[in-house]
Structure 1
Amino acid sequence: MSLADVARVGGSGLRSRPMRVFLSALGIAIGIAAMIGVVGISTSSRNDLNKQLAALGTNLLTVVPGSTMTGGTAHLPKDSVAMIANRPDVTSASAVGATRAKVYRSDRVPTVQTGGITVNAARTDLLRSVGGEIVDGSWLNGATSRYPAVVLGPQAAQSLGIHRAGSDVQVWLGDQWFTVVGLLAPNQLVPALDAQVFVGWPVAERILSFDGYPTTIYTRAEEADVEKVQGVLGATADPQDPNEVNVSRPSDALAAKHATDNALSGLLVGLGGVALLVGGVGVANTMVISVLERRSEIGLRRSLGATRGQIRTQFLAEALLLSGLGGLGGVLLGIGVTGGYAAYQGWAALVPLWAMAGGLGATLVIGGLAGFYPAVRAARHPPTEALASN
């Protein structure tokens, strides 16, 4: 028989049992859809991460004080920002310093209701180092940093119920009114900034009893020198006690999160493989029952001259078509799941070609293995016994 004849004969066997075929193909489709969906979502997530890192940069390093030998909290030197900025491989360095002040929407709010908002003194060049953006108003400058002016992170602004900046918008901070001059956009690279409010360094020292010690230094280094700078940044910030300085790279947290997602994706791919195996068992079961139900057809074809090889080819073709339909449906379903989830997350949907081709190839292998025994069994039926069983 030609290839077209084999496909036509195999298809006719499937059309005679549509519900059974649908249920068997569904098992294959679920397994393939799970695997395609997991791979597609993981690929889309990784692509989005790469775009984030490309936009935010991987060259940001943070310096914070560690612990002293006696277990107390260390201090970064007041001139540590200047010492870091003087390095030739550092492009920018800025800092914030934590104050003890609390911020409230008004002077009528009970003092215990702080909302967990931290008040920081900030340098005027902070946004350049952290890659921050203003959504309303402006950042602190040489003038506003000396007066009672404040910039709010997005979470802090939400907690305080403030949605715009302006000369008529004020918050109660340090037992006096501060004008809200700006609102920050969410910062994906340094999300801790979102729940903070920022005042100028000079006004914090004058009004809020700020001691002038930086608590976090944000440093941008040349891309090619990031690892080298990271290794010496502790000694640069505090030459006398470099062991009391902790240096980290915020982009590593995003990469670690993605690595965790990849581990979970591997587990889900394994579960998809189990579902695919179960689908293969369903195909084998369908084909075995089909052989038992169609013994008279097999006997008639054998008596009319069909060889064992042709009978074997017919049933093997049915198994391959059945699994192929399930695989094609699974690939389409997996693409749909990936596209829907990516759209929900705001990602660009990406499904690797190798995943789709591998999914279809796996279904054909499963179908061939599942249909081999039923096909051999059908070919071994003697024509006389097959006809007599009718």
Structure 2
Amino acid sequence: MTRSPATPLPPPKARRRLREAAALTQTQLATRVNVTRATIRAWESGRTAPRGRRREAYARLLKTLAEEDAARRTRSAPPPEPAPTPTPTPEPTTVLEPVSGPEKGSEPEPGPGSGSEPGSGSEPGSGSEPAPEHPALTPAQAFDALYEFSAPALVRQAYLLTGRRELARESVERAFQTAWERWPEVARDRDPVGWVRATAYEFALSPWQRFRPRHRQPEPPPADPGDRTLLNALLRLGPQHRRTLVLYDGVGLDLPETAAETEASTPAAANRLLHARETVAGRLPALADSRVLHQRLTELASAERLWAAKPTGVRKGGERRARFRTRAAIAFTVALIGATALTVRTAPTHYEPAVSPGVAVRGVPPRVAPGSLSEAERELRQKLRDRLQDGPERLEPRLE
């Protein structure tokens, strides 16, 4: 179940870079797009995406900022100087995060319908040979390739965040199901793994997870005492500190990228990282070195038996959930309309006062009807009529 293509937007990291290059704050940018600061913050972190007219206005503004940034770079760029071709140094691959995206030193995998961007240069030593043509992938094939490439590493990362194997697997599956529902947007993103990772982290660290009955029972801890101590030290950290530590020392993101993904400023992310390192080093002094900490996180994640479902099952599960929600919404709407129609049909149209039941009252004398006047009553009535109606005369003092 896919949606119609929307206006393309730069990746969340590029949106934040363009805003900072233009020396604009999130409040100033929110004023220009006519949204709140929290909305801009969510857009730049990739947590949510704009829609409708707001998406078009945001895309136009980002395009203007990109043109201004390109013009500034052109004016301030020095003349090119010949330089020897550097020898690429292979980076060590970690089991926590597969190398993906342009920031990791490799070219992004071409998505469905993607071509070479205008103005993009060629690799050193490639000459003028054209790039090999890749067969066009269907949306399902591209989704399956992305899932098989990144799902195992994301499950291990979610395990470091939660300490629960089943919750880690469920978080990654839910994130990929959300990505399949918004596949046109995710397929155009330059870092789809980061998009899915942010969604999986949000689901795994949601405070509502503690109210689920299936997650109230503790899971068996790791068998190794050192791994058990390290996992307990991680779980003692706050959710944001734990997420910052996993992203920076586990996944290997830069500090600005970590700050953007955790929806915090760069100084705040640095403070969280330092606090998390101090807390872990207080329980395990041998992990004071960041390289040793990275190695131990990798060993802890790879020591557990974590598995991910098949991509076909994830896609079908997301489609079934979407159909169930749609049918539930339709059924609720029909029930609401039926209840409203029944109320209108059976409700009274005017007020009818309630008739109280009759009660016998005893001890009250019967009501006597007026009869004819007697002779004395007629004389009294005549006297009253003959008298003056204005009362007796007023006595006034007089001089004699």
TM-score where L is the length of structure 1: 0.24
The one of the two structures with greater contact order (alpha-carbon pairs below 8 A, sep at least 6) is: 1
Q: Which has the higher Rg, Structure 1 or Structure 2? A: 2
